[in-house]
Amino acid sequence: MKKSICLPLFLKYSALTLTVISLAGCSGTSQYYDRNSSTAYASPRQSASARTALDSWSTASPSDTAGSGQPQPTVLRQGDTVRVSFPGTPNLDETEQVRLDGKISLPLVGDVQAAGLTPSQLQQTLVKLYSPQISSSDVTVAIESSSFPVFVTGCVLSPGRILSNQPLTALEAVMEAGGFDYARANLRNIHVIRRDNDSSQSYVLNLRAVLDGDQKNDFYLQPDDIVYVPEKFSWF
């Protein structure tokens, strides 16, 4: 008689425990990337305030620092090498590496801030600086070499730092890290962690859909992004 009473009670409390755990798991605030929408979106199970906060963040424009369908404009960093050309005054042509202080040194104008600017922005700065010095204000800035580091960790074959001379998508970064460990990797829940000064953001990607051809992989990484491939959940 005791066994017949205890079994329903056990099942009842087990179901209650699983309900509490599932509800607790719904409180995350990771952003999900939807290539068919211009916004990152929260899980439908999140609170309305969380969804409103995420919806205010747009992936449509590169200035919004989100992963998007196009590589974002390259911003010069320390260690990048740029070629500055003067078509009307070729003797002023220089190839300079951006120093640790973020500057390059050019004839006639001296040190110029380069880090944090796009090549076109640096070009506009140089046009203003050289206009009193030379008759032709035609200046061209081109990147000779660029360092684009990202980090890939988790269930990949060769985790670590990836260096590229051009922007990478999340899938390309994983392939550079040797590819997925398919026996363990959860391809539907890839996390991209992006640090910005004192804050960080996390984006969740479904690369299983990309590999199956259901989606186009258009989430471009930014320098120093971390791509984390989690392990599949298993009861055993």
| Single-letter residue type at 87 | P
Phi and psi, residue 134, nearest 5°? -130, 155
Q: Which of the residue ranges 16-30, 88-102, 198-212 would you say has the lowest mean pLDDT?
A: 16-30
Quick one: average pLDDT of 209-217? 84
Q: Domain locations in the chain? A: 31-67+147-229, 81-145
**Tell me, which fold does domain 31-67+147-229 have in CATH?**
Outer membrane lipoprotein wza fold like (3.10.560)
Domain over 81-145 is classified CATH 3.30.1950.10: yes
Helix residue spans in 93-232 (DSSP H):
119-130, 170-176, 207-211
* Cα–Cα distance, 203 to 62 (Å, whole number): 16
108-126: burial string, b at 16+ Cβ within 10 Å, e else = eeeebebbebebeebbebb
Rounded to an integer, the average pLDDT of 126-137 is 85
Task: Give pLDDT, residue 70.
Answer: 60
- pLDDT for 30-45, tens place per residue? 555 554 443 333 333 3
pTM: 0.56
Predicted confidence at residue 216, as pLDDT, reads 76
